[in-house]
Amino acid sequence: MARYLVSFPDGAMAHIPDEDWEDVGKAAHAVMRDAKAAGVWIHGGGLVSDVEVSVVSPEGTVSDGPRTGPPVGGFALLDVPSRDDALGWAAKIASGCRCAQEVRELLPDPEA
């Protein structure tokens, strides 16, 4: 099994009309429930985009921002047999969320 990050950038869902949000939420949660039932779901969710970003240095110093890249709008962590499986789940998530998804394989970690 391999672990994948499926994500989309903040703002990717901005095209969705207000009246469609309830349906989008239901569709996205249905995919999440299916992934849980299939045993491939690790974790996921949307990120709050309008809050300060804290940066913690290797020495432990905490400072506010700046962001080091574009913010992530939402993500799913999946544990699947292959990249093709990850792409299949990403297609389901894209359909539910009505926006394209980026798929990245996580480095293997024998202690995970």
First CA to last CA across the chain, in angstroms?
Answer: 12
Residue 30 lies in a domain: yes
| Structural domain of 8 | 1-13+20-46+71-107
Residue 78 lies in a domain: yes
91: amino acid identity, one letter: A
**pLDDT tens per residue, range 52-105:** 788 889 999 999 877 777 788 999 999 999 999 999 999 999 999 999 999 999
According to the model, what pLDDT value does residue 61 have? 94
Provide the domain count of the chain.
1
* pLDDT over 80 at 45, yes or no: yes
Residue 26 lies in a domain: yes
Q: Is 102 helix (H, G, I), strand (E, B) or coil?
A: strand
Q: Return the CATH number at 28.
A: 3.30.70.1060
Give the helix/strand (H/E) hosting 82.
none
Residue 112 lies in a domain: no
Is residue 42 within 8 Å of 50, Cβ to Cβ? no
